[in-house]
Amino acid sequence: MTQVLRDLVEAELDQPVDPRAKAMAEAIAARHGAASRAVLFYGSCLREKQLDGLMLDFYLIVSDYPSAYDKPSLARANALIPPNVFPFQQGGLAAKYAVLSERDFYRLNGPETRNVSVWARFAQPSRLVWSSDEAARAAAIAAVSRAAPTLLAAAGKIDGESVLHWWRRAFSLTYSAELRAERKGRSGSVVDADLERYERFSPAVVASIDPAIPGGGWLRRRFEGKLLSVLRLAKASATYAGGAEYIAWKINRHAGTSIELKPWQKRHPLLAAISLLPRLLRSGAIR
């Protein structure tokens, strides 16, 4: 990683956010006490600068899982299939937050994992809205700085390809490696929504790519990624209150569907997800 890239990431993470998002981040950190190290805000609400009526997305970074939970079962679930995801509400706003340890956050932003879910998200803009101290802040910056070089390296450069198309193609590949409730072309809109940002980051990101790390392997990434998405969904049915309603809301928002859950589906989110999955795959609502 070049110092130029680290400086760009630090400046971006330090940009101010809506005070309501900052207050929510502080409350999320307080929920997990002394284990909380940093809270990052990312996703569509950040890109669209719109909070009301949407679901805010946060990552809570903790020192370790046993210290973050009162229930050992939650710590074990977080370590086995990271992250755990929880709903949160405050001040009329709704959010969800994912929990990762500092060690896992660093690892999952780097090329040592084929799992795209973390580095694909943090190759996009995010904000460091709370940190416990300067060491936690520095650790978050170092982890996020790994994401964009990992993304572009995994996609591989095609001769004659513009750097912006490289970004678009890379995000498209990551979308194909998860169960995503998105309209076709949404991966490209992530870049097109902030072209100046991706152009500005590109030289430092490309310079930070380790040429010894090969790209490719996307058939395996897709298989493992979709399987992991199903496992996370199963885990969420036990840890995420209101999980079925959130899944339906997200699919309806991003795929333009109008799913309405039956009472039994609300009571049994895992069975609901299993029952909906074949229809959603056939319709293309998720891919």
Looking up tokens 């309405």 gives 260
Supply the Cα-derived Rg of the chain in whole angstroms: 18
Q: What is the pLDDT of residue 102?
A: 98
Q: Domain check: are 73 and 165 in the same one?
A: yes
Looking up tokens 């969800």 gives 96
Quote the pTM value.
Answer: 0.85
Q: Domain check: are 154 and 262 in the same one?
A: no
Total structural domains within the chain = 2
Average pLDDT along the chain: 87
Q: Domain check: are 117 and 50 in the same one?
A: yes
Q: What is the pLDDT of residue 250?
A: 57
Please say which residue of 220, 253, 269 terminates a domain: 220
The dihedrals phi and psi of 149, each to the nearest 5 degrees, come to -60, -35
Q: Domain check: are 202 and 252 in the same one?
A: no
Please say which residue of 169, 187, 220 terminates a domain: 220
41 bridge partner residues: 58, 127
pLDDT tier for residue 59 given thresholds of 50, 70 and 90: very high
Read off the pLDDT of residues 142-189 as tens digits, 9 standing for 90 and up: 999 999 999 999 999 999 999 999 999 999 999 988 866 555 555 568
pLDDT tier for residue 37 given thresholds of 50, 70 and 90: very high
Q: What is the pLDDT of residue 225?
A: 87
pLDDT tier for residue 132 given thresholds of 50, 70 and 90: very high
**Residue that wins the pLDDT comparison between 191 and 274:** 191
Across residues 25-39, what is the average pLDDT?
Answer: 98
- Is there a contact between 108 and 82 (Cβ–Cβ < 8 Å)? yes
Q: Domain check: are 273 and 208 in the same one?
A: no
Q: What is the pLDDT of residue 243?
A: 56
**Residue that wins the pLDDT comparison between 67 and 185:** 67
Across residues 109-131, what is the average pLDDT?
Answer: 96
Read off the pLDDT of residues 254-277 as tens digits, 9 standing for 90 and up: 556 666 767 766 665 556 666 666
CB-facing half-sphere around the CA of 230: CA atoms within 13 A? 12
Q: Domain check: are 197 and 256 in the same one?
A: no
Q: What is the pLDDT of residue 181?
A: 52
Residue 90 has pLDDT above 60, yes or no: yes
Q: Which domain holds residue 167?
A: 3-220
Q: Domain check: are 206 and 253 in the same one?
A: no
Q: What is the chain written as a DSSP string?
A: --HHHHHHHHHHHTS---HHHHHHHHHHHHHTGGGEEEEEEESHHHHHT--TTSEEEEEEEES-HHHH-SSHHHHHHHHHSSPEEEEEEETTEEEEEEEEEHHHHHHHTSTT----HHHHHHTS-EEEEEESSHHHHHHHHHHHTTHHHHHHHHH-PPTT--HHHHHHHHHHHHHHTS-----TTHHHHHHHTTHHHHHHHHHHHHHT--TTS----HHHHHHHHHHHHHHHHHHHHHH-TTHHHHHHHHHHHHH-------HHHHH-HHHHHHHHHHHHHHHTS--
Q: Domain check: are 142 and 127 in the same one?
A: yes
Q: CATH code at 113?
A: 3.30.460.10
Across residues 28-40, what is the average pLDDT?
Answer: 98
Closest to 106 (Cα-Cα) out of 147, 134, 50, 76: 147
Q: Domain check: are 175 and 233 in the same one?
A: no
Across residues 211-223, what is the average pLDDT?
Answer: 89
**Nearest-10 crossing angle of helices 72-80, 218-239:** 170
Q: Domain check: are 264 and 244 in the same one?
A: yes
pLDDT tier for residue 241 given thresholds of 50, 70 and 90: low
Please say which residue of 165, 187, 220 terminates a domain: 220
- Is there a contact between 54 and 45 (Cβ–Cβ < 8 Å)? yes
Q: Domain check: are 204 and 260 in the same one?
A: no
Q: Domain check: are 97 and 206 in the same one?
A: yes
